[in-house]
Chain A
Amino acid sequence: MDMGKVTALMPRARRIDILVALATLTPLIEAAAQANRRPATSIVIVTGGQATLPIPTLMEGGENSVGNLDVADQLFLRLANLGPKLLTTGDGDFVPALASSWTRRDSITLTFDLDRRARWHDGTPVTARDVLFTINRAKSSAIAPRLSELLRQVVSVTAEGTHRVVFRYARPYAEQLYDATFHVAPLPAHLLDSLPPEQVARADFVTNPVGSGPYRWVRNVPGQFMELAAVPDHFLGKPKVDRVIFRTAIDASARLNLLLGGQADAMDIIPPPPDNLRRVVADTTLRLISVPSSTVGYLLFNQRDPKNRARPHPILADIRVRRAIRLGLDRGLLVQAVFGPHGAVPYGPVSQLLWIRRGAPAPEPANVAEARLLLAATGWGDSDGDGTLDRGGRPLRLTLSLPNTSGVRRQMALLVQEQLRRIGIQIELQQLEFPVWNERRSAGNFDVDFSAVSQDASPSGLTQAWTCTGGSNYAGYCDRRVDSLIEAAIVGQGDPSEIWHEALRQIEEGAPATFLYAPTFVYAVNRRYRSVTISPQSSWITLWKWSVSPTAVSDRSE
Chain B
Amino acid sequence: MSGWLVRRALQAVATFAVALALLFLLMRAAPGDPLHRLSADRPISAREMEALRARYGLDQPVGTQLAAFVTGLVRGDLGVSIEHGRPVTTLLAERLPATMLLGGSVLLLNFTIGLWLGVRQAVRYGQREDRWLTTLSLTGYAMPSFWLGLVLAWLIGVEWRLLPAAGMQDPLLSSDSSLAVRTGDVLRHLVLPVLTLSIVSIAATMRYQRAAMLEVLRLPYIVTARAKGLSQREVTWRHAWRNALFPVITLFGLWLPILVSGSVFVEAVFAWPGLGSLAANAVGSRDYPLLMGASLLVAALVVASGFMTDVAYALLDPRVRLG
Contact = CB atoms under 8 A, between A and B. Distances in A.
Interface stretch (A111-119, A266-274, A433-441, A506-514): A433-441
B36 A442 contact: yes
Contacts of B281: 250
B211 to A, nearest CB: 33
A253 B150 contact: yes
A30 interface: yes
B284 A405 contact: yes
Interface in A21-51: 26-32, 34-35, 38-39, 42, 44
Contact of A436 (B32, B45, B153): B32
Given A32-B188, A245-B171, A439-B31, A453 B41 contact: yes
Interface of A: 26-32, 34-35, 38-39, 42, 44, 52-53, 58, 60-64, 141-142, 145-146, 149, 201-202, 221-225, 227, 243, 245, 247-251, 253-255, 257-258, 260-263, 403, 405, 433-436, 438-439, 441-442, 452-454, 461, 464-465, 470-472
Nearest to A62: B83
Contact of B182 (A31, A62, A223): A31
Interface stretch (B5-13, B46-54, B110-118, B199-207): B46-54
Interface string B52-93: 100100000000000000000000000001111111000100
27 contacts: A28-B184, A28-B188, A31-B173, A53-B86, A58-B85, A60-B52, A61-B38, A62-B84, A62-B287, A141-B47, A141-B48, A221-B171, A221-B273, A222-B95, A223-B94, A223-B95, A223-B277, A223-B278, A225-B171, A243-B172, A248-B273, A254-B165, A254-B271, A258-B271, A261-B161, A261-B164, A471-B45
Given A64-B38, A245-B171, A442-B36, 19 more contacts: A31-B187, A52-B85, A62-B81, A62-B83, A63-B84, A142-B51, A146-B44, A201-B86, A222-B273, A224-B171, A225-B171, A258-B167, A435-B32, A435-B37, A438-B36, A438-B40, A439-B32, A442-B39, A470-B43
B166 interface: yes
Contact of A224 (B36, B83, B168, B269): B168
B120 to A, nearest CB: 20
Contacts of A225: 171
A251 B181 contact: no
Contacts of B274: 223
A63 B85 contact: yes
Contact of B166 (A52, A249, A436): A249
Contacts of A201: 85-86
Nearest to A558: B174
Interface residues of B, number: 72
Interface in B119-177: 150, 153-154, 157-158, 161, 164-174, 177
Contacts of B269: 251, 253-254
B20 interface: no
A247 B171 contact: yes
Given A254-B270, A257-B153, A435 B284 contact: yes
Contacts of A433: 32, 284
Contacts of B91: 222
B165 A149 contact: no
A149 B45 contact: yes
Contacts of A58: 85
A475 B269 CA distance: 38
B271 A452 contact: no
Nearest to A473: B43
A375 B185 CA distance: 65
Closest 7 CB pairs of A and B: A435-B32, A223-B273, A27-B184, A464-B43, A249-B271, A31-B184, A261-B165
Contacts of B294: none
Contacts of A53: 84-86
B249 interface: no
Contacts of A452: 41
B104 interface: no
Nearest to B182: A31
Contacts of A146: 44, 48
A257 B158 contact: yes
Which of B43, B52, B182 has the most C-beta atoms of chain A within 10 angstroms of its own C-beta? B43
A141 B51 contact: yes
Contacts of A262: 161
B285 A249 contact: no
B31 A435 contact: yes
Contact of A248 (B34, B154, B271): B271
Nearest to B43: A464
B183 interface: yes
B268 A251 contact: yes
Nearest to A202: B87
B42 interface: yes
B153 A471 contact: no
B286 interface: yes
Contact of A61 (B82, B86, B166): B82
B183 A27 contact: yes
A465 B43 contact: yes
Contacts of A436: 31-32
Contacts of A61: 35, 38, 52, 55, 82, 85
A145 B268 contact: no
Contacts of A442: 36, 39
A31 B185 contact: yes
A452 B86 CA distance: 28
B98 A223 contact: yes
B33 interface: yes
Contacts of B322: none
B18 interface: no
A222 B92 CA distance: 11
A31 B285 CA distance: 37
Contacts of A260: 158, 165
A454 B40 CA distance: 9
A474 to B, nearest CB: 9
Contacts of B153: 253-254, 257, 261
Nearest to B265: A251
B180 interface: yes
Contacts of A224: 167-169, 171, 271, 273
Interface string B176-218: 0110111111011000000000000000000000000000000
B166 A254 contact: yes
A249 B172 contact: no
Contacts of B33: 435, 438-439
A257 B157 contact: yes
A95 B32 CA distance: 42
B163 to A, nearest CB: 8
Contacts of B81: 62
Nearest to A33: B181
Contacts of A149: 45, 47-48
A225 B167 CA distance: 9
Given A149-B48, A222-B94, A251-B268, A245 B43 contact: no
